[in-house]
Chain A
Amino acid sequence: MNWLETLRTGVNGVRSHRMRSSLTVLGILIGIAGVIIAVGLGEGASSQVTSEINALGSNVLTVTPGSSTSTTGIREALGSASTLTMADVSALQSRVDAPDIKAVAPITSDDEVLTAGSETATTSVQGTTTSWLAVRGRTLAEGRFLDNQDVKDHTAVGVLGATTASELFTRGDPVGQTVDVDGVPVTIVGVLTSTGASSSSSSTTSDPDDTLIIPISTGAERIFGGTSRNSVSSIAIQSESAGDLTGAYQEADHLLLQLHGITTASDADFTITSEASLIAADTSVDHTLTILLGGIAAVSLIVGGIGVMNIMLVSVTERIREIGLRKALGATPRVIRRQFLVEASVLGILGGILGVVAGILGVLYLPGLIGDPMTTSATAAVGALAIALAIGVLFGVYPASRAAALAPIDALRSE
C-alpha cells in the first residue's frame, strides 16, 4: 500500500470522526496561533525600539545635570542641580577643544498647556537652537525650522511635533496658526516629520512626536522663567560619526570637568549618557517578554500535542474492531502504524494551517484593540507549521505503535 493510499485512508479516518477531529484541531490551532501572536508582539516591540534608536541616532550623547555617583550620599539628587549653562554649550561647540563633536544643541524643557482655538494639549515644550534638527536627526514635514534670527531675537515662533500638530489642529494647516503657550502667543512655522515610534512602548523616552520646539532664548525669557536664564536642562551632542562617539564623550567630559572646576572625575556634577544605551536596556526587557510569551505559547502547544495523543489513543481503543478487520484483510503492522501516524499528522497540519491563519488575523487586528504594535513573521508561521506537523507525528507515534501491535484476534474479538 503506497503513501497516497495511506494518506487517503488517514484523511478518511479524520473525516469520519468530525467532532473529535475538530476539537483536536482546535487545541493545536490555539497553540499555533498563540505562538504567532506572542512572536508578533515581541518582534513588534523590539522593531519599535529599533526604530526609536534609529530616530535618535547612534551618534548622539546627552549631558544632563546632577551626579553620576549618587551612592556617595552627600550629593544632591540626580538631575536636581542646574549645573549646565550656555557657557558649557559654547565650550563644547569649539572645533579646537572638541574636534569629534559635530554639533551641540542645548535644550531647556518643561511641560506646558498649549491652546489653539478650542483644542488644548499638554506637551513637552523644548527650547533649543537651530542645530537641534540635525543633532536629533529629524526632518520637517512642512514649513521651516527655527533659524538663528529667531534665537537671537527671542521670537515667539515654534515647530510642532506630528502628534501635537494633529491634536491641536484637527482641520487645516498648522503653519501660520498661533498657539497659546502659558499666555504667550507662539506662531507655528513648521511641523516635524513623524518618527513612527508610538507613545506606549518605552518608559525611558518620551514620545518624540509629542512636542513643541521653540528658540531657547524665547523659552528662557518669555515662557519658562524662574531659574537662571543661562541654565539648560540638557545638552545634546552629535559626534562626527558613530565611530567618534567615544572621542566626543571624552572631549565633552574633559571640557565640562574643566569648566566646572572639578578635578576628580567621580565628583562630576553632570552625567553623559548615550541615548542608544537607554533603549538597549528597554530592548532586553522586550526580549525577556518575548521569551516569556513564547514559553506560554510553547506550553499550550505541548498541551495541544497531548490532546492529539489522547485522541489518537481513544481512537485506537474505539476502533479496535476496525484495526482487527483491516489486519484480517491483509494490512501489515507497518501499514496500520502508517495509517494512524498519517491521521495524527493530518490533525497536526490542519491545526497548524488554521492556527497560522488565526495567528496572522490576530496579528493584523489585535494591535487595533490593545494598542501594541505587532509584526507578522514568515519565520514564525513556517516554524509553527513545522512544529504542528512534528507534534502530530511525535504524539502519534505511540498510539500508532499500539494500534500496529494489536493482535488481529484480540482486535476482532472485542465488542
Chain B
Amino acid sequence: MITQPTGTPMVEVARDNVIELERVTKVYRTGSISVAALRGVSLTIKEGEYVAIIGPSGSGKSTLMHILGCLDVPSSGRYHLAGEDVSHMSETALAEVRNRSIGFVFQQFNLLSSLTAWQNVELPLTYAGVARSERKERAMEALARVGLAGRVNHRPGELSGGQQQRVAVARALVTEPDLILADEPTGNLDSKSAADVMRLMGDLYENGRTIVLITHDSDVAGAAGRVVGIRDGLLSERDESHLESQSIR
C-alpha cells in the first residue's frame, strides 16, 4: 500500500475530489435471498463541500454511510477517498484509512464511558501512533474548539447529551481528517442541543472542512449547502442550483 501524508492527493486529477463513487453497488446475501441495498450509486464530493444525504429508513442510506466511512466495501464499482482507491482494501488497510482520513460523528455519540472527555478525543491519535504528550495537547485544542475547554476531565456520564456529541465532534476533528462523516448527529438530542451541534457543523464548514451529513430529517439537511436524496438504493440530486455537482441517475 502506498502511504501518503494527510490530505495530499495521490493522483493529480483527483486533487479537489474528496469522494468519488462510481456505479457502486452493495448486495447483502442472507442464505438464498440477496438484497441490493445500493443499486449503482455515483457521487462526487469536492473538498470543502457540506453535503447532506437524506432518505427514509430502508433507503440504503446506512449502507451508503458505511461505504463512505470505509466501514464496509462495495460489492462492485469504485470508491476513491481523497484520491485513494479503497474499494478492495484489506481490513487492516481500511482501518488505517479510517484513522487517517475520516472523522465519525454517530447518532449514539459512541464515547467510551470509562474514559474522560480528553481521553476519548485522543483515542484516534493513539491508533495513529502519535506521541502521548502531543495527543493530549491536540485533544485539548479540539475540545476548546467545540467549546468544552472546561469539561476535559469529565466522563461521558457527567456530561449532557449535547456536550457528549460535542466531545464526539472534537474526536472527529482531532486527526484533521479529509472528511467528517456525521450519521444522524442530532437524532438523540433535544432541539436546543441539536441546534448547537448543527451550528458547530456550520462553523467547521466555514473553516473549510468537508462534511457529509446523513439524516432522515429535512430540517437538518437544510443546513447543508447541497442535498442529495437517496431512495431504494439510488441517489437523486435535490438542489439543481449546484451545477458543478455530477449527480448521475
Seen from chain A, the residues whose Cβ lies within 8 Å of a Cβ on chain B are 1-2, 5, 9, 12-13, 15-16, 321-322, 324-335, 407-409, 412
Considering only CB atoms, which chain B residue lies closest to A2 in the complex?
B129
Docked-complex contact B106 and A412, CB < 8 angstroms: yes
Bound-complex Cα distance A173 to B126 (A): 76
Bound-complex Cα distance A9 to B123 (A): 10
Q: How many A-B residue pairs have CB under 8 A?
A: 62
Docked-complex contact A331 and B66, CB < 8 angstroms: no
Docked-complex contact A5 and B92, CB < 8 angstroms: no
User: Does B84 have its Cβ within 8 Å of any Cβ on chain A?
Assistant: no
Docked-complex contact B100 and A330, CB < 8 angstroms: yes
Bound-complex Cα distance A9 to B113 (A): 13
Q: Nearest-CB distance from A336 to chain B (Å)? A: 9
Docked-complex contact B114 and A332, CB < 8 angstroms: no
Q: Nearest-CB distance from A333 to chain B (Å)? A: 6
Docked-complex contact A334 and B92, CB < 8 angstroms: yes
Bound-complex Cα distance A328 to B95 (A): 7
Which chain B residues lie closer than 8 Å to A332 at the CB level? Answer: 91-92, 95-96, 127
Bound-complex Cα distance A327 to B94 (A): 10
Q: List B residues 178-203 near A (Cβ within 8 Å).
A: none
**When the two chains form the complex, which single residue of B91, B127, B129 contacts A329, counting CB atoms closer than 8 Å?**
B127
Output the residue of B96, B106, B113 with the most chain A CB within 10 A.
B106
Which chain B residues lie closer than 8 Å to A331 at the CB level? Answer: 95, 127
Docked-complex contact B71 and A412, CB < 8 angstroms: yes
Docked-complex contact A326 and B123, CB < 8 angstroms: yes
Which chain B residues lie closer than 8 Å to A408 at the CB level? Answer: 71
Docked-complex contact B127 and A330, CB < 8 angstroms: yes
Docked-complex contact B129 and A1, CB < 8 angstroms: yes
Docked-complex contact A329 and B123, CB < 8 angstroms: yes
Considering only CB atoms, which chain B residue lies closest to A322 in the complex?
B112
Docked-complex contact B96 and A330, CB < 8 angstroms: yes
Seen from chain B, the residues whose Cβ lies within 8 Å of a Cβ on chain A are 66, 69, 71-72, 91-92, 95-96, 98-100, 104, 106, 108, 110, 112-115, 123-124, 126-129, 171
Give chain A's interface secondary structure class. helix
Q: Nearest-CB distance from B173 to chain A (Å)? A: 13
**When the two chains form the complex, which single residue of B91, B95, B99, B126 contacts A5, counting CB atoms closer than 8 Å?**
B126
Considering only CB atoms, which chain A residue lies closest to B112 in the complex?
A322
Docked-complex contact B72 and A335, CB < 8 angstroms: no
Bound-complex Cα distance A322 to B129 (A): 19
Considering only CB atoms, which chain B residue lies closest to A405 in the complex?
B91
Docked-complex contact A333 and B110, CB < 8 angstroms: no
**When the two chains form the complex, which single residue of A330, A333, A409 contacts B99, counting CB atoms closer than 8 Å?**
A330
Bound-complex Cα distance A324 to B99 (A): 13
Docked-complex contact A330 and B92, CB < 8 angstroms: no
Output the residue of A321, A325, A407 with the most chain B CB within 10 A.
A325
Output the residue of A16, A324, A326 with the most chain B CB within 10 A.
A326
Q: Nearest-CB distance from A363 to chain B (Å)? A: 38
Which chain B residues lie closer than 8 Å to A335 at the CB level? Answer: 127
Q: Nearest-CB distance from A73 to chain B (Å)? A: 81
Which chain A residues lie closer than 8 Å to B108 at the CB level? Answer: 321
Docked-complex contact B71 and A330, CB < 8 angstroms: no
Considering only CB atoms, which chain A residue lies closest to B123 in the complex?
A329
A322-B112, A409-B66, A412-B110 known; A333 vs B72 contact (CB < 8 Å)? no
Docked-complex contact A329 and B66, CB < 8 angstroms: no
Which chain A residues lie closer than 8 Å to B115 at the CB level? Answer: 12
Q: Nearest-CB distance from B216 to chain A (Å)? A: 17
Q: Nearest-CB distance from A240 to chain B (Å)? A: 75
